[in-house]
Amino acid sequence: MIKRTKWDIVFSKYIRVRDNWTCQRCSKTLPEGSMGLHCSHFVGRSNYATRFNEDNCEALCYGCHRILGGNPIEHREHKLMILGEERFQELVEESRLLLKKRDICTEEFYQEIKAKLKDLTDSLVYDGDE
C-alpha cells in the first residue's frame, strides 16, 4: 500500500470539493467529508508524473471506484469520455515521464494545492450566498 502524504491528503480533498462531493460515474452525491467518496487515480498513485494531475483524478464513490479499478478497459473508456481524446493522450504522455517524489513533493507545491483548495472553497461559499 502506498503511504498517503500531506500532499495526497490536501489534493484528495481538493478533487472531492472540485467535483462537488459527487461521484463522476454514477452522480451519487455524498455528504462533505464522507469517507465513501474517493479521489480516484486513472494512472496509479505510484506514478509521480501524474499523481497530482487534475485530469488523472476524479471523485468516485466506493462502489464505482471498485468497479473501475477492477475493469481497466471500462476505466479507460470512462476516462476517455470524461477527458476527450486530446486530453487523454496528453495524460498518457505525461505518465511516461520519470519523476520522483522529491521532484514533485515540495513545500511550495503543497502551499499551491492548499491555496487552490482555499480558493475553490471560498468561491463555493461565496456563490452559495448570492
How do residues 78-94 score in pLDDT, each as one tens digit? Answer: 999 999 999 999 999 99
Long-range contacts of 93-100 (CB under 8 A, 24+ apart): 94/49, 94/50, 94/53, 95/43, 95/47, 95/49, 95/50, 95/56, 96/49, 97/49, 98/49, 99/48, 99/49, 100/48
Q: What is the DSSP letter of 61?
A: E
pLDDT surpassing 70 at residue 112: yes
Query: What per-residue confidence (pLDDT) applies to 9?
Result: 96
pLDDT surpassing 90 at residue 116: yes
Share of the chain above pLDDT 70, in %: 95
pLDDT surpassing 90 at residue 102: yes
pLDDT surpassing 90 at residue 54: yes
Q: Residue ranges of the domains in the chain? A: 6-110
Long-range contacts of 47-51 (CB under 8 A, 24+ apart): 47/95, 48/99, 48/100, 48/101, 48/103, 48/104, 48/105, 49/94, 49/95, 49/96, 49/97, 49/98, 49/99, 50/91, 50/94, 50/95, 51/8, 51/104
Query: What per-residue confidence (pLDDT) applies to 53?
Result: 98
Question: Which of 75, 83, 7, 3 has its CA nearest to residue 46?
Answer: 3
For the stretch 11-39, pLDDT in tens is 999 999 999 999 999 999 999 999 999 99
pTM: 0.90
Query: What per-residue confidence (pLDDT) applies to 1?
Result: 67
Query: What per-residue confidence (pLDDT) applies to 130?
Result: 46
